[in-house]
């Protein structure tokens, strides 16, 4: 008599709606398929929140979604987007019956994935749990999204000590695992496959002046869209004129067409300022390698830049990523024009200060976060 043993794989659904989610979940998907395929099965769901930007990430990491949802927004109401995301996700979970749903970050796709999972009583694993600015409206609506997802999640995978402590302060003591940030895993992957080929080449790089330093600028948070953006534009204008012969400034504009036009209208007359549309992931990494310093409000860049030895000026009044600021590889400068200019001038002219911000070990991870997460889910 012959006996057949069937091992049931645990099905894990990944909900991905934006480029940062794709970048930070891709290493876990890769690790699962390469090292945990006997025990775990992945189900990758693209929500449709940021289709174009996410398609680039999937291509870069060689991931094909199992499901690609579509949404049809009639206006810019956040409630409309959330409603359009939740229902198809819940129907999909009802059909596929995953054993666990992984969400990451703080977007509406993150919240929708968690809510749809909760409604189907599927346990939720929250990657990058515990980040807090302690200001409900900055970043908006991300801080509120984080708080709501935290309440629904079973497993909390935190990136740092501060994130773990934040959860404990909120009374969450169980199933908290400090694993580091998977964005470092993603950078290690990118370095391994290379991101300086023709496909990754950005237009500015082809005609750059090797004798000039370059400041990279990325501003995308909603709280910086109004008066704050004008303060930042003024700072860039001053730096451009002050260091006209020695400095290029590359500003990667927001996908919002009116915001992008506003920036371009204000700075287009400056020949050493280059305004470009959104770039793909490999192009961004390539530009970062040529950057002398970065001015940004991006959380992801704050986490990535230490791995590339690039000082960061954070154009926000608060940050949920204080580790880099306290360690010295980032500086919180807010959106005051004079503060931004003074901080940039110091880094451009004082090599001691500049070198002190470089060469700091990345406080956000060591490239092994994905394995730690999957080890927990397998146990």
> Is residue 220 annotated as a catalytic residue, yes or no?
yes
Say if residue 308 is exposed, middle or buried (CB neighbours under 10 Å; 0-12, 13-18, 19+).
middle
pLDDT tens for 183-211 read: 999 999 998 887 655 556 677 777 788 88
Catalytic residue among 51, 99, 188, 220: 220
The predicted pLDDT at position 199 comes to 56
Beta bridge partners of 251: 217, 275
The stretch 152-166 carries a mean pLDDT of: 98
Q: Which two tokens stand for residue 332?
A: 């919180």
Tell me the helix, strand and coil percentages in the chain, rounded to 5.
Answer: 50, 15, 35
Catalytic residue among 128, 248, 297, 304: 128
Identify the three-state secondary structure at position 119.
helix
> Is residue 84 annotated as a catalytic residue, yes or no?
no
Distance CA 41, CA 374 (A): 11
Residues 6+ apart with CB under 8 A from 83: none
Identify the three-state secondary structure at position 220.
coil
pLDDT tens for 61-91 read: 999 999 999 988 778 899 999 999 999 999 9
Distance CA 325, CA 235 (A): 21
Domains of the chain: 10-181+365-378 (3.40.50.2000), 203-359 (3.40.50.2000)
The reported pTM is: 0.90
pLDDT tens for 28-44 read: 999 999 999 999 999 99
Catalytic residue among 30, 156, 254, 286: 254
pLDDT tens for 242-274 read: 999 999 999 998 877 888 888 899 998 999 999
């Amino acid at each position: 008599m012959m006996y057949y043993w069937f091992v049931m794989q645990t099905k894990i659904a990944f909900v991905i709606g934006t480029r940062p989610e794709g970048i930070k979940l891709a290493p876990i998907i890769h690790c699962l398929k390469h090292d945990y395929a006997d025990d775990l099965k992945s189900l990758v769901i693209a929500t449709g929140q940021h289709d174009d930007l996410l398609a680039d990430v999937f291509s870069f990491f060689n991931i094909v979604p199992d499901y690609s949802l579509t949404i049809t927004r009639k206006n810019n109401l956040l409630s409309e987007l959330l409603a359009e995301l939740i229902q198809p996700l819940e129907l999909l979970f009802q059909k596929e019956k995953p054993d666990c749903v992984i969400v990451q970050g703080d977007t509406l796709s993150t919240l929708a994935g968690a809510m749809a999972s909760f409604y189907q009583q599927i346990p939720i694993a929250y990657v990058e749990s515990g980040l807090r600015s302690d200001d409900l409206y900055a970043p908006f609506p991300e801080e509120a999204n984080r708080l709501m997802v935290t309440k629904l999640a079973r497993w909390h995978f935190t990136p740092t000590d501060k994130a773990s402590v934040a959860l404990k302060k909120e009374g969450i003591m169980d199933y908290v695992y400090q694993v580091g940030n998977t964005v470092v895993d993603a950078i290690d992957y990118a370095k391994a496959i290379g991101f300086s080929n023709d496909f990754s080449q950005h237009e500015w790089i082809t005609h750059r002046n090797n004798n000039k330093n370059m400041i990279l600028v990325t501003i995308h948070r909603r709280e910086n869209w109004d008066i704050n953006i004008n303060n930042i534009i003024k700072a860039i204008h001053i730096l451009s004129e002050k260091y006209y012969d020695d400095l290029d400034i590359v500003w990667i504009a927001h996908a919002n067409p009116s915001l992008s036009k506003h920036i371009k209208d204000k700075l287009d007359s400056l020949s050493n300022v280059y305004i470009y549309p959104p770039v793909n992931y490999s192009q961004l990494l390539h530009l970062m390698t040529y950057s002398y310093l970065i001015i940004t409000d991006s959380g992801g860049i704050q986490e990535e830049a230490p791995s590339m030895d690039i000082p960061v000026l954070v154009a926000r009044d608060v940050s949920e990523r204080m580790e880099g600021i306290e360690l010295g590889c980032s500086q919180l400068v807010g959106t005051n024009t004079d503060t931004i200019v003074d901080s940039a001038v110091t880094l451009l002219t004082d090599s001691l200060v500049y070198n002190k911000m470089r060469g700091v070990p990345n406080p956000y991870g060591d490239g092994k976060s994905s394995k730690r997460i999957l080890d927990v889910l397998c146990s």
